[in-house]
Amino acid sequence: MNNLRYNEWEHLETTYRGVKLMKKKLNGLLLLLTSIVIVGCANVEGATTSDQEADPKVETTESKEEASPEVPDQPEAEEAVVDEASTETSNEGFPGFELIEVDGGDLSGVRQANVVVDIGFGDREYWAFTNEYGQLVRVIADEIILQDDRSEPVTSSGRYYSDEAKVPGVESAVLDEGHIIADSLGGVSNAYNITPQDSTLNRHGDQAYMEKNIRDAGGATNFEAVITYPNTKTQIPSSYQYTYTLKGNVIVDTFDNVNPDDVNESLGLTESTPSSSESSNTNSNTEHDLSSIDTNGNGLVTIKEAKAAGFTMPITSDHWLYAHMRDNDGDGMVGE
């Protein structure tokens, strides 16, 4: 009986030990499986985290690549400003024309082609342009400043220089050395301000009338003269057009380079009148007293004396005072 119980107890103990061993093996297996699962999850999470961390880097690179074209835009804008400034600087000059200096009293009569010359006396800026044939075709000035014989070196005849440039054509008996901008308006006497002009037109016609209007107004602004020629070989213009502003009014004077008296006669607009010399002599002897004008009493009236007495220059040959003044160049005008 005791042996039976002992044997049963030993069997139970063996069974218990087997179950316990099996339980340990199961626990080890479960632990291994758990470890595998944990490691796998960690790898998945690590991969996910890595992917998430990688994505912003890609986005950042893409953003930089998208933004990179904007970086050179700034230099391009700066270059555009520089180019524009260069264009403005060129426009302030005279593109297509070479700027040269010519003495105001140069009498040579020769002009260079495609050049621009300042023909204003002193500090005045009057710009004259020639074409490819050396013809004087345009003169411009922002402001016409009248001659000032009180502060400027002016001869007794009211001129800056004693003579004018000998442009081909002025040797004609009926053509004057005509200023585009007269001495009285501040112009010099070289070939870039002189054209062969009909004598009557220059002294008594539209040219003289235009100059008088500017003098009477005390100057002009936005002045432009356009000179036209019949062909490319001559230096004798066929016509002139002057545009200028007087006291806010834009004036346009256009006229041909011809004798206006001949034109008027052909149109039946002339009448028989006493000659200029007869009229001057008669008036001077019978109607006018020089004592208030000829201040030094020498019988000769100077330009300064005439201006001081209120007379406007020039004094032409048909004026009574002309007979008492000195016309050094014999062009029928004093103080033009």
Reported as a single tens digit per residue, the pLDDT across 246-304 is 999 999 999 999 999 888 888 776 665 544 444 444 444 445 777 778 777 777 788 88
Q: How many CB atoms lie within 10 A of CB 162?
A: 12
Confidence check: pLDDT of 205 > 50: yes
In terms of Cα–Cα distance, which of 160, 163, 164, 166 is closest to 111? 166
What pLDDT, on a 0 to 100 scale, did the predictor assign at position 264? Answer: 82
In terms of Cα–Cα distance, which of 195, 180, 91 is closest to 141? 180
> In percent, how much of the chain has pLDDT > 90?
49
For the chain, what is the mean pLDDT?
Answer: 78
Q: Which tens digit of pLDDT belongs to each residue from 214-245?
A: 999 999 999 999 999 999 999 999 999 999 99
**Region 87-96 average pLDDT:** 58
What pLDDT, on a 0 to 100 scale, did the predictor assign at position 144? Answer: 98
What pLDDT, on a 0 to 100 scale, did the predictor assign at position 317? Answer: 83
Of 56-65, 136-145, 262-271, 281-290, the range with the lowest mean pLDDT is 56-65
In terms of Cα–Cα distance, which of 328, 323, 330 is closest to 288? 323
131 against 281, higher pLDDT: 131
Name the CATH topology of 96-266: Extracellular Endonuclease; Chain A (3.40.570)
What pLDDT, on a 0 to 100 scale, did the predictor assign at position 236? Answer: 98
- 3-state DSSP assignment of residue 10: helix
**Region 169-181 average pLDDT:** 97
**Region 181-205 average pLDDT:** 96
What pLDDT, on a 0 to 100 scale, did the predictor assign at position 39? Answer: 52
As a whole number of angstroms, the distance between CA 44 and CA 48 comes to 6
| Confidence band of 37 (pLDDT split at 50, 70, 90) | low
Q: Which residues contact 172 (CB under 8 A, 6 or more apart)?
A: 196
Highest mean pLDDT (candidates 132-136, 157-161, 298-302): 132-136
**Region 138-158 average pLDDT:** 95
Q: Which residues contact 146 (CB under 8 A, 6 or more apart)?
A: 184, 185, 186, 214, 215, 218, 219
Q: Would you say 288 and 320 are in contact if contact means Cβ atoms under 8 Å apart?
A: yes
**Region 328-333 average pLDDT:** 75
AA letter at 49: T
